[in-house]
Amino acid sequence: MILNTKENGWFVLYHLYSTSLNYDSQGIKDFHHDLKIAKRWGIKYVVIEDYYRNFCWGEYTCPWNKETFKAIIELIHNEGLDFIPYTNPTEVATHSKIFKKYPQWMVRDRGGKTFTGFLSVFFPRYYREFDFQLKLICPASNWKDCYLEQCRELLDEYGADGIYMDRVDHRIKCSAHPNFEEGIVKIVKRVKEVVKERNKRLIINDCGMFLDKTMRKVLRMADVILIELLPAGRLTHLLKFILYDWGDYLYKMRKILSPLMDFLNKGAYLTSPQLASSKAILKRISKIREVSSSPLLLFTHRATPQGLNLISEVAEQEEGVSFCLFQPEKLKGKGEGIKRLSPLA
- Is 251 among the domain residues? no
Contact 155, 197 (CB under 8 A): no
Residue 252 lies in a domain: no
Which CATH number covers residue 203?
3.20.20.80
Residue 131: inside a domain, yes or no? Answer: no
Determine the pLDDT at residue 127.
Answer: 62
Q: How confident is the model at residue 250 (pLDDT cuts 50, 70, 90)?
A: confident
Q: Tens of pLDDT along 105-118?
A: 999 988 898 888 76
pLDDT at residue 125 is higher than 60: yes
Domain count, the chain: 1
What are 322's strand-pairing partners? 297
**What does the alpha-carbon distance between residue 80 and residue 99 come to, in Å, rounded to a whole number?**
37
* 207 falls within a domain: yes
For residue 26, what are the domain limits? 8-89+141-239+266-344
First to last CA, the chain: 8
Distances (CA, A) of 338 to 51, 124, 125, 305, 306: 19, 21, 18, 9, 12
Provide the mean pLDDT of the chain: 86
The answer on pLDDT for 77 being more than 60 is yes
Amino acid at 273: P
Q: Would residue 312 count as lying in a domain?
A: yes
Crossing angle between the packed helical segments 213-220 and 180-197, to the nearest 10 degrees: 10
In a domain, 71, yes or no: yes
pLDDT band at residue 174 using 50, 70 and 90 as cut-offs: confident
Is-contact 133 95, C-beta < 8 A? yes
Q: What is the mean pLDDT of residues 234-263?
A: 72
Q: What is the pLDDT of residues 194-218, one digit of tens each?
A: 999 999 999 999 988 778 899 999 9
108 belongs to a structural domain: no
